[in-house]
Structure 1
Amino acid sequence: MKDEIKKTVIDIANVLSSNDEESWAKTFEKLGSELDSDCESSIFSLRKLYGGMGSFNDIILHKDGIPLIRENDELDELRHTLYKQLDRAINLLKTSKNLP
């Protein structure tokens, strides 16, 4: 579980970094490295990136005001993969702690 999430997080950071989204890339790099020291907290922190205005869901990669179709498609696929992985991990955590 953790290794799958970490790989996806690294892939997301690479896509973001390659497309001038350094701030977001650093956020994912930081949370990815924190998976090793505090996996549970990092999982919940990653999940929080998906909500609200200006969230990870709102990122559109572009160059000179023109959306980058291939790069956005790749990011969108990774975004959905990570969400599913996090959802699964959170459900496992809740089950292991007998939480609703």
Structure 2
Amino acid sequence: MKNEIKQTVTEIAIVLSSNDETSWAKAFEKLGYELDIDYESSIYSLKRFYGGMGSFNDIVLHKNGMPLIRENDELENLRHLLYKQLTQAIEALKTN
């Protein structure tokens, strides 16, 4: 599961950095790296990205005031995939 999460986190960081969301991209890169150091803490930290105002859920990629449809669709798919992966990982931790 960790490798799948790392792959998704890496893909999200690429999409974000390619579309001038550098602070979010760096946050994902950092936690992607930390998955190898403290897996449990990292997955909970990633899950917290999804809540509250100004969260990862609120990001809309745009250029010159126009939303980037293809890029936002890709990000949305990755966002859902990561959430599903994190939920499964947390459930697995609870059962162990």
CA distance in 2, matches of 1:64, 1:31: 30
Query: Shift in Å at residue 46 of structure 1?
Result: 0.1
Stretches (4+) displaced over 4 A: none
CA RMSD of aligned residues (A): 0.3
Letter of the 1:73 counterpart = D
How many residue pairs get matched?
96
1:63 is aligned to 2:66? no
Percent of aligned pairs with the same residue?
Answer: 74
Letter of the 1:12 counterpart = I
Q: Which runs of 5+ in 1 are unaligned?
A: none
Q: Which runs of 5+ in 2 are unaligned?
A: none
Tell me the TM-score normalized by structure 2. 0.99
Match for residue 7 of structure 1?
7
**1:27-50 C-alpha deviation (Å, 9 max, x unpaired):** 000000000000000000000000
Letter of the 2:52 counterpart = G
Query: Shift in Å at residue 77 of structure 1?
Result: 0.1
Tell me the TM-score normalized by structure 1. 0.96
**1:79-98 C-alpha deviation (Å, 9 max, x unpaired):** 000000000000000111xx
CA distance in 2, matches of 1:94, 1:8: 22
Q: How does 1:5-84 map to 2 (within 5 A)?
A: 5-84=5-84
Secondary structure of the structure 2 residue equivalent to 1:57 = helix
Letter of the 2:42 counterpart = S
Q: Whose radius of gyration is greater, 1 or 2? A: 1
Letter of the 1:72 counterpart = N
CA distance in 1, matches of 2:40, 2:6: 13
